[in-house]
Amino acid sequence: MELTKDLEEELKQLYEIFFESLFHVDTKRYMSFMTDDFKQIGTTLEEVWFSKNESGKYLEKNVGPVAGKIEFRNRDINMEAVDNLMVIIEQADCFVNIDGIWAYYDKVRVSSLLQKKETDWKFVQQHISFPDCRTDQGQTVALEKITAENIQLRDAVKRRTVDLENTNQELENTILKLKSTQSQLIQSEKMASLGQLTAGIAHEIQNPLNFVNNFSEVSAELVEELKVERSKVDGKRDEILEGELLDDIAQNLEKINHHGKRADAIVKGMLEHSKTGSGEKELTDINKLAGEYLNLAYQSFKSKNEGVDIKLISDFDPSLPKMEIVRSDIGKVLLNILNNAFYACTSTSISTDPSKFDIQNSKFDIQKKPQVTVTTKNSGNTIQISVSDNGLGIPHSIKDKIFQPFFTTKPSGQGTGLGLSLSHDIIKAHGGTIEVTSEDNEGSTFFVILPVQKNH
């Protein structure tokens, strides 16, 4: 078939009307230009319709809402006859009306196949698509645009990286702040345990000082008596009495010296304990350390809790090897565990106060005397220090929490809840562990397990 001028004109008009009915969603008219088996293909893979009915339905549903709001401009329409078919290829700029303003949307390409059916030309096939919107005229691939997009992307990634770095810096600052707060807390905990120690030591020191004061006062009186005796005329002086007075004075001086030395030893001990955090490891006799701290902790506890009476039992394994440890730190651990034990077994003694306790309904043995046992054991590769009390035990529900910093069940102001968490850290730093067993109303046992260094 030949494409005559007339035919071209006829087809152009038909083509125009087809698009007019499409843009204005005049479905009936639009469909009247198609063969029944009209096939239409859109831009995306799903946009394929196999009959004029399907195309009509699509028009109503999807083009309907934008009726009158789409226009093709700068249309470039080419026609060609291929056998008995007409091929019309159009390229145009698609414009859309947004809020009354026409705006460029994209390039559009339409390929249509028309065939003469009886007297009229009908659309047999059509492909309408928006080609790669990044490609300009004369380009196959929009390299420049893609490059520009990549640069934009890279910039975005850079910005994101900077943002992330800033966030990271903020996090690091927060961690630094937390670390310094933590070390301040550790410092104040050191001061607190030093305070406890001091209370115990003050109590211990009071005793020898009382002796020193009393014996020196008595000795001063004896000296006065001796002076009186010596001022008497010869013959009246009782020389035997003088001898006895001198003997008493000598004995008293000996006692003053003995108690003075005791006070001296306690002060030296206090100075040693005040050297906390030096971190120096020393070869230590754990049995001796445990014994010392048991006494110190008990004195300290008694000085703060008038009238308490706890039975102390110690059972030390003589085969324990000397251990390379930070004395003051392990001392702190013992002090806290012992303190907790004293507290646990004496808080049941409230039960002995009938005004505060319903004896009839009590599950507790009100006669139970508070008791704390400290044992040491050589297990070959490890040594174990255990502290048992016969208190109320640790409720199952809080067992997991007792090593957490600030966890305490003591009334406010009485405990910081740092004791066990610090103890845990100290023992961990020594390569050891702390374990706990507990039974309701029976008591608890804390085990400090330290590895034995084989070279010692």
Ligand X SMILES: Nc1ncnc2c1ncn2[C@@H]1O[C@H](COP(=O)(O)OP(=O)(O)OP(=O)(O)O)[C@@H](O)[C@H]1O
* Footprint of ligand X (CB under 6 A): 336, 340-341, 344, 389, 391, 394, 402, 407-410, 415-421, 444
**Shortest spacing between CB 397 and ligand X, in angstroms:** 11
Partner from ligand X, Mg ion, none contacting 391, C-beta within 5 to 8 A by type: ligand X
Comparing CB distances to ligand X, the nearer of 286 and 341 is 341
Partner from ligand X, Mg ion, none contacting 444, C-beta within 5 to 8 A by type: ligand X
Partner from ligand X, Mg ion, none contacting 341, C-beta within 5 to 8 A by type: ligand X
Comparing CB distances to ligand X, the nearer of 56 and 417 is 417
- Of residues 340, 346, 348, 421, which one binds Mg ion by CB under 5 A? 340
- The total of other beta-carbon atoms located within 10 Å of residue 212's CB is 18
391 binds Mg ion (CB under 5 A): no
Instruction: Name the residue with the smallest CB distance to ligand X.
Output: 419
**Shortest spacing between CB 425 and ligand X, in angstroms:** 11
Comparing CB distances to ligand X, the nearer of 321 and 417 is 417
Binding mask of the shown chain, residues 105 to 124, with x at each position contacting Mg ion by CB under 5 A: --------------------
**Shortest spacing between CB 213 and ligand X, in angstroms:** 34
419 binds Mg ion (CB under 5 A): yes
Q: How many CA within 13 A on the CB side of residue 273?
A: 28
Comparing CB distances to ligand X, the nearer of 195 and 451 is 195
Identity of the amino acid at 336: N
- The total of other beta-carbon atoms located within 10 Å of residue 204's CB is 21
Comparing CB distances to ligand X, the nearer of 287 and 340 is 340
Comparing CB distances to Mg ion, the nearer of 110 and 297 is 297
**Shortest spacing between CB 385 and ligand X, in angstroms:** 14
Whole-number Å distance between alpha carbons of 319 and 383? 10
- What is the chain's alpha carbon radius of gyration, rounded to the nearest angstrom? 50
Comparing CB distances to Mg ion, the nearer of 24 and 304 is 304
| Contact indicator for 238, 337 with CB cutoff of 8 Å | no
Instruction: Give me the long-range contacts of 347-354 (CB less than 8 A, separation at least 24).
Output: 347/391, 347/392, 348/391, 348/392, 349/308
Which are the contacts of 130, defined by CB distance < 8 A and separation ≥ 6?
A: 43, 94, 106, 107, 108, 109
Start-to-end CA distance of the chain, whole Å, equals: 110
- The pair of structure tokens assigned to 11 is 């087809």
| Contact indicator for 51, 37 with CB cutoff of 8 Å | yes
**Shortest spacing between CB 222 and ligand X, in angstroms:** 48
Comparing CB distances to ligand X, the nearer of 22 and 449 is 449
**Shortest spacing between CB 318 and Mg ion, in angstroms:** 30
Which are the contacts of 146, defined by CB distance < 8 A and separation ≥ 6?
A: 134
Partner from ligand X, Mg ion, none contacting 125, C-beta within 5 to 8 A by type: none
Alpha helices in 305-445 (DSSP H): 327-346, 419-429
Partner from Mg ion, ligand X, none contacting 416, C-beta within 5 to 8 A by type: ligand X
Comparing CB distances to Mg ion, the nearer of 256 and 296 is 296
- By CB under 5 A, which span of 53-61, 222-230, 316-324, 334-342 interacts with Mg ion? 334-342
**Shortest spacing between CB 198 and Mg ion, in angstroms:** 17
**Shortest spacing between CB 454 and ligand X, in angstroms:** 32
C-alpha to C-alpha distances, 105 to 102, 136, 395, nearest whole angstrom: 9, 14, 72
Three-class DSSP category at 373: strand
Whole-number Å distance between alpha carbons of 316 and 287? 6
